[in-house]
Amino acid sequence: MRTMKVRTIEQAKEFDQHDSLRRFREEFYIKENSIYMDGNSLGLLSKRAEKTLLASLNDWKEHGIDGWMQGSYPWFSLSETLGEKMAPLVGALPDEVIVTGSTTVNLHQILATFYQPRGDRTKILADELTFPSDIYAIQSHLQTHGYEPTEHLVQVKSRDGRFLEEDDIIEEMTTEIALVILPTVLYRSGQVLDIKRLTEEAHKRGILIGFDGCHSVGAVPHSFSEWDVDFAYWCNYKHLNGGPGAVGSLYVNKRHFGTSPGLAGWFGSRKDKQFDMEHMLTPAEHAGAYQIGTPHVLSVAPLIGSLEIFAEAGIENIRQKSLHMTQYLMSLLEQELSGFEFYIGSPREESRLGGHVSLEHKEAARICKALKENGIIPDFRAPNIIRLAPIALYTTYEDVWNVVQTLKRIMTEKQYEKFKNEREVVA
């Protein structure tokens, strides 16, 4: 997409008039006199998510323990039901996705199940730009197997500190690699990796490969089954608006069904056997086998309503608008903030651009505080990144215009100078 030269608020309003998703904005609780640009960290509450949470509370109120099989959304099969509804967002078969655990817990399950070092294949391949929690989990499993992480965790280097090159990743897929764990989208720069190519190259070398989809699912459509990805995991509180601490999701390719879960628990049982209370696990015959414990029903419930919205809006439509808005945002940043020493640290090619824009500045922490004082909620990532995420379901083009104008005013008036250039406890 070519850079759009939008120079007036009237044109932003025109984009809003022709926005096919604009009706969904009314579904969300948006604070008055505020512009929320942090949906890539925590999505806003929708009225439907609130409704389904309250309905689940009412099921508890009305049915007590019978809520496991009765009520609006019976709890016993809720993780499987939502997995089926989640599957189209990642291009998976209905029984390949389960809503369970959390990002890191699900990664631990994947590692415990699929990291099986043999012979020279003892190393795990990741990258140096990935989210730290993934690295912590990988290191812990290497140590459990008696390996030193400094030797057996291979982290692909970035050439510029912002992006990864697929060629560099593939070059590290040696005969010593047992497993590859990579992000679908880099959390700082917003770069989308070529999942299809990386999967093909890993499989050519006999290596299993999986992806952390936290920063893409709900903003970027995937085709995990078609691409033959082995496994993936993601949170549901960012683009999917499942609420703080929402239960995560896990994808396991059907080729691996029947592989014993490395971390076994009774909710991984086949449903008709679960309450037999036998001391020999009979695993489910689908992704549900990789559940561990009882689902956190009240942390799952908002996702019921949220996924209804995604089904109506369509992930391809969401992606189309997201791309248009991020390109629009970058064109405005270039137009309005020239001379203020900002640098756009996100890819410009559509195929490599995720759902947020990474704006770099040496005073980033102070600028974020000034934005908040002006009613705009950004996201800060150390040491110098302001992440801005125009969310297709509830951000308007006029919002984007106003964010950039506010940034320009903050810089012109040097409003940021009254703040310390250091992050808050929660950045």
Question: Is residue 266 a known part of a binding site?
Answer: yes
**Sequence ranges of the domains in the chain:** 9-47+314-412, 51-312
Q: CA-CA distance, 404 to 9, in Å (whole number)?
A: 11
CA dihedral 172, 175, 178, 182 (to 10 degrees): 20
Q: How far, in Å, are 83, 87, 159 from residue 299 at the CA level?
A: 15, 19, 40
CATH level 3 topology of 9-47+314-412? Aspartate Aminotransferase, domain 1 (3.90.1150)
Question: Is residue 237 a known part of a binding site?
Answer: yes
pLDDT, position 5: 63
Q: CA-CA distance, 127 to 154, in Å (whole number)?
A: 7
Q: CA-CA distance, 378 to 76, in Å (whole number)?
A: 38
Question: Is residue 104 a known part of a binding site?
Answer: yes
pLDDT, position 423: 79
Question: Is residue 199 a known part of a binding site?
Answer: no
Question: Is residue 133 a known part of a binding site?
Answer: yes
Question: Is residue 103 a known part of a binding site?
Answer: yes
Per-residue pLDDT of the chain (427 residues; tens, 9 = 90+): 344 465 789 999 999 999 999 999 999 999 999 999 999 999 999 999 999 999 999 999 999 999 999 999 999 999 999 999 999 999 999 999 999 999 999 999 999 999 999 999 999 999 999 999 999 999 999 999 999 999 999 999 999 999 999 999 999 999 999 999 999 999 999 999 999 999 999 999 999 999 999 999 999 999 999 999 999 999 999 999 999 999 999 999 999 999 999 999 999 999 999 999 999 999 999 999 999 999 999 999 999 999 999 999 999 999 999 999 999 999 999 999 999 999 999 999 999 999 999 999 999 999 999 999 999 999 999 999 999 999 999 999 999 999 999 999 999 999 999 998 887 877 7
Q: Which of 196, 172, 193 is nearest to 183 (CA)?
A: 193
Architecture of domain 51-312 in this structure: 3-Layer(aba) Sandwich (3.40)
Q: CA-CA distance, 6 to 325, in Å (whole number)?
A: 12
Output the pTM of the full model. Answer: 0.96
**Gyration radius of the chain's alpha carbons:** 22
The type of residue at 71 is G
pLDDT, position 235: 98
Q: CA-CA distance, 277 to 280, in Å (whole number)?
A: 9
Q: CA-CA distance, 291 to 249, in Å (whole number)?
A: 10
Specify the length of the chain in residues. Answer: 427
Question: Is residue 134 a known part of a binding site?
Answer: yes
